[in-house]
Amino acid sequence: MNDGANPMRAAQANMRAPEITRFYKTAEAREADGIHALALDGRPARTPGRNRLAAADPALMERVAEEWRRQGETVNLSDMPLTRLLNAAIDGVACKMEETRAAIAAYAGSDLLCYRADEPESLADRQREAFDPALEWAAETLGARFNVAAGIMPVAQPPQTLAAVRAALDKVDDPAALAGLSVMTSLTGSALLALAVADGAMMPEEAWRAAHVDEDFQAERWGVDAEAMARREARWREMEAAAAAAGAVRRI
C-alpha cells in the first residue's frame, strides 16, 4: 500500500510515543449507550486524536483494558498492539472507510496466494497445502475464483473476482474490524488470508503460517536469523490483535 494514502499508517504515525510514566491506578471497560469504552481511574480514556477510546464489542474492549492493567511503572505502547490498532481505527480508518477498503482490495489483484514456486517441488507442495484452503474458501463463500501462476510474472484476475472481494469488504462497516483487516492484509501480503481469518474460516495461526511458508522453507535450509525471528514475533503480536479486532464483527 502507498503509505501516503493509507489511513492506517497515517493514524499510526501519530501514535509512536515514547514510554511514559504510568498515570493511573485502574483500567476497566465500561458500557454506556451500547458503546464499550476504556476508563482510567473512572475517567474516559482518549486516543491521540482526542476521541474516546471505545468499540462496539465488549470482549474487545476488555482486552484493551487488560493491556493497560498489565503495564508497570511505565506505559509502553509497543506492548499494547490492540490499543494502538483501535487508536488508528478511531482516528484514521473511521474517517476514511472507503479508502481503507480500496487499499485492502488492491492486494487482491496481486495476492500472495496466487504466486507459486515451480521448484523445488517440496516448496510447491507446501504452498499448495497452505494456500489452497483460503482460495477454496474464497470461491465457495465469496464466489471469487482466483487465477494462480508459477513464478513472479503478474497474473490478471477476473473482474468479477475482484468485484466479489470488494463486495465482501463493503459489508464491513465497523472501523475496528476494517482496521484489523487492513493490518492483517499488510502483515501477510494477502487480502484473502485476512478475510478468511475475519470470517472465522481460518485461525490466525494458520494464516500466519501460510504467509511464511517460503520464509520457513528457507530457514530450514539455511538456518534461522535471530533478529529476523524477533521481528517476526513482534509482527505476530500485531497480527493477533488485528485478528481479534476483525473477528469482532463478522459480516462477510
Grid coordinates representing 70 are 498489565
Confidence tier at 126 by pLDDT (50, 70, 90): very high
Helix (H, G, I), strand (E, B) or coil at 236: helix
DSSP state of 50: S
Residues near 156 by beta carbon (within 8 Å), at least 6 away in sequence: 147
Which residues have a Cβ under 8 Å from the Cβ of 155 and sit 6 or more positions away? 114, 115, 147, 148, 149
C-alpha dihedral sign at 186, 189, 190, 191? positive
* Closest C-alpha to 112, from 149, 138, 77: 149
Least-confidence region, from 1-5, 35-39, 139-143: 1-5
Spatial CB neighbours of 217, under 8 Å, sequence gap ≥ 6: 122, 123, 126
pTM for this model (two decimals): 0.90
DSSP single-letter state for residue 14:
T
Q: What three-state secondary structure class fits 222?
A: helix
Q: In Å, what is the CA distance from 149 to each residue of 112, 124, 193, 207, 239?
A: 11, 11, 18, 20, 27
Look up residue 114 and give its DSSP letter: G
* Domains of the chain, CATH where assigned: 3-95 (3.30.2180.10), 110-247 (1.10.3580.10)
Q: What is the pLDDT of residues 9-61, one digit of tens each?
A: 654 554 455 678 999 999 999 998 889 999 999 999 999 999 999 999 999 99
pLDDT at 34: 83
